[in-house]
A and B are shown apart, each in its own frame.
Chain A
Amino acid sequence: MNPTERTLTITDALGNIHTVRIASAEVMEGFGEALAAQCKGGELIALKGDLGAGKTTLTKGIARGLGIAEDITSPTFVLMKVYAGNKKRGDSAPLSLCHIDAYRLSTWHDLEAIGADEYIGHPDTVTVIEWPEQAGVLEHCAPAWSIAIV
């Protein structure tokens, strides 16, 4: 098995499913960038996949696509990181990125406890959440895209 190959199964808000094959970490970031280009604000992107599947790597690409220059580092320890957007995209205001890692959480209530519900769905923010199944995210909100990485 080639350790850099990944398959993404993408479910959109309407329930349409399609799959994408990704050959490397660079291609994964490029895919994230393209995804960000489709965001208008308020989107929730749920990223599923085992430890080391590439969820944070994909998020790095999303950040780049939003024009965020800061390094995106793993949010596992602090649970949530917010990055201010800084690029004018068309006439709209820049979009911020809220990057959540629910790996260490166990309920939706935990997400509320860290104030994540204030960002999810906010029109100026794109929210990416790793390990959504750990915090019952999918029972509480409908992601614009739910992406499983294997």
Chain B
Amino acid sequence: MRILAIETSCDETAIAVLSIEDGIFTLEKNLVSSQISTHAQYGGVVPEIAARMHTESLPLLLKEALDGPRPDYCAVTAGPGLITSLTTGVNAARALSYSLGIPLVPVNHIEGHVASNLLEGNAIEYPALALIVSGGHTELISIPEPGHYIIIGKTRDDAVGEAFDKVAKILGLPYPGGPAVSKCAEMGDAKSISLPRPMIESNDCDFSFSGLKTAVRYLSEEERSRVDDVCASFQDACVDVLVSKTLRALRTTGARTLLFGGGVTANRALRSAFTETMSRDFPMIPFYFPSLSYCTDNAAMIAAAAYGIITRGAIPPASSWKPNPQWHIDEPLV
């Protein structure tokens, strides 16, 4: 089976071709046309520009992706994301599926991040738990069996990647803020500035990051001028909360595998904190970080998720759905 997948939920235009024989994945094409340098001029994603860039990039990437054997399925991200960007990808996918006469598989972007772990042949034992952290998402997802997702924790305000971007802005660092903050953090002292650990004691798996952004804003001028220390202390606070809530979720769900996904998983401090804690507290539970190229938005993960949907016979009729910018992973697409 060969799946062509299109991902345009935010600022990356991405297309992948994944072939699967006897359950073995071979990634034949993995094309990403990053728009970040264009958006950096604006300090973020401008939807009109994003949609236009996708419209310009898609035909070029498609031409390259279709230069090979014909795909059997077309997969596309149908949400969550920016509505204009999603619509551009879905329209292209619909046209392709119609003209090639192949089924169209809508995929939830978050399910894609979870499935990024399948691309490297990791053995997942169920129930599994996934922590998905990015610019738009902070979610702990329990996966009792393949294809069954339950959101057991999420942010009540800002996503963790959003908090990184906004703290970078407050400190005058460049966009995107995540890499800028973690780079400064490497030179700072994480214990030198006291910042809150929002909701770390709460009796659930939810998160809150808006208070950290505000705490940075209200630091004294002297403290705020020590940019490296602020970054290190802020990153430390974020990682502390993420680790603590994930451990709570592992205990309450009895998960047997821990998966990670999303752009913030590229953060080195996060990786080393989890590696240390897991080998100390849960040495029997395997945990997987996707390779760096699969952490950020890509289409290979959408193809991997589509493979699961196809094998479960769960493709919805093409006429029953449209892109949904607020599609929750635990709800059907309508």
Residue interface mask B122-153, A partner, CB < 8 A = 1: 00000000000001100000000000000000
The size of the chain B interface, using a CB distance under 8 A, is 35
Binds A, one of B97-105, B207-215, B232-240: B207-215
Whether the pair B47, A77 counts as a contact (CB closer than 8 A) is no
Instruction: State the CA gap A78–B213 with chains docked (Å).
Output: 19
Pick the interface stretch among B38-46, B184-192, B292-300.
B38-46
Quote the shortest CB–CB distance from A136 to chain B (angstroms): 14
How distant is A101 from chain B, measured CB to nearest CB, in Å? 10
How many residues of chain A have a CB within 8 Å of chain B?
A: 27
| Contact yes or no, A76 B82, CB < 8 A | no
Contact yes or no, A74 B218, CB < 8 A: no
* Contact status B157-A73, CB under 8 Å: yes
Residues facing A in B17-38 (CB within 8 A) are: none
Contact of A114 among B10, B82, B157, B214 (CB under 8 A): B82
From B84, B170, B210, residue with most partner A Cβ within 10 Å = B210
Smallest CB separation, A102 vs chain B (Å)? 11
Interface of A is mostly: loop
> Residue on A with the closest CB to B169?
A51
Q: From known contacts A56-B210, A77-B162, A110-B46, infer whether A51 and B84 are also in contact, taking CB-CB under 8 Å.
A: no
- Chain B residues contacting A57 (CB-CB under 8 Å) are 157, 210
Contact between A109 and B157 (Cβ–Cβ < 8 Å)?
no
- A139 contacts the other chain (CB 8 A): no
Which of chain B's residues have a CB closer than 8 A to the CB of A104? 42-46
Contact between A106 and B42 (Cβ–Cβ < 8 Å)? yes
Contact status B136-A52, CB under 8 Å: no
B155 within 8 A of A: yes
A54 and B218 alpha carbons, distance in the complex (Å):
13
Bound form: Cα–Cα A29–B159 in Å: 20
- B42 touching A1, Cβ below 8 Å: no
Chain B residues with Cβ under 8 A from A78's Cβ? 80-83, 136, 325-326
Distance from B227 Cβ to chain A, minimum over Cβ atoms (Å): 16
Cβ of B48 < 8 Å from any Cβ of A? yes
Mask of A65-79 contacts with B, CB within 8 angstroms, 1/0? 000000101101111
- Whether B156 is near chain A, meaning CB under 8 Å from some CB there, is yes
Task: Check if A73 sits within 8 Å of B155, measured CB to CB.
Answer: yes
- A103 at interface, CB cutoff 8 A: yes
Beyond A1-B218, A104-B46, is A77–B83 a contact (Cβ under 8 Å)?
A: no
Q: Which one, B81, B169, B210, contacts A74 given CB within 8 A? A: B210
Measured CA separation A82–B155 after assembly (Å): 18
User: Across the interface, which residues of B come within 8 angstroms of A80, CB to CB?
Assistant: 83, 325
Kindly state whether residue A141 has any CB partner on chain B within 8 Å: no
Interface: A91 (CB within 8 A): no
B135 in contact with A115 (CB, 8 Å): no
Q: Indicate if B248 sits at the interface (CB-CB under 8 A).
A: no
- List the A side residues contacting B214 at CB < 8 Å: 3, 52, 54
A77 in complex: contacting residue of B136, B169, B216, CB < 8 Å:
B136
Complex Cα gap A34–B169 (Å): 32
CB under 8 Å from chain B, chain A span 1-16: 1, 3
Residue of B nearest to A105 (CB): B46
Q: Check A79–B82 contact: CB distance below 8 A.
A: yes
Q: Which 8 A-B pairs have the closest CB atoms?
A: A104-B44, A77-B136, A52-B214, A3-B218, A113-B48, A52-B217, A74-B158, A52-B213
Other A-B contacts than A76-B166, A82-B326, A104-B43, 5 sampled, CB-CB below 8 A, are: A3-B215, A52-B210, A57-B157, A79-B82, A80-B83
Q: Can you list 22 A-B contacts with CB-CB less than 8 angstroms, sorted by A residue number? A: A3-B214, A51-B217, A52-B210, A52-B216, A56-B210, A71-B156, A73-B154, A74-B159, A76-B162, A76-B166, A78-B81, A78-B83, A79-B82, A80-B83, A104-B42, A105-B47, A106-B46, A110-B46, A113-B51, A113-B84, A114-B47, A115-B83
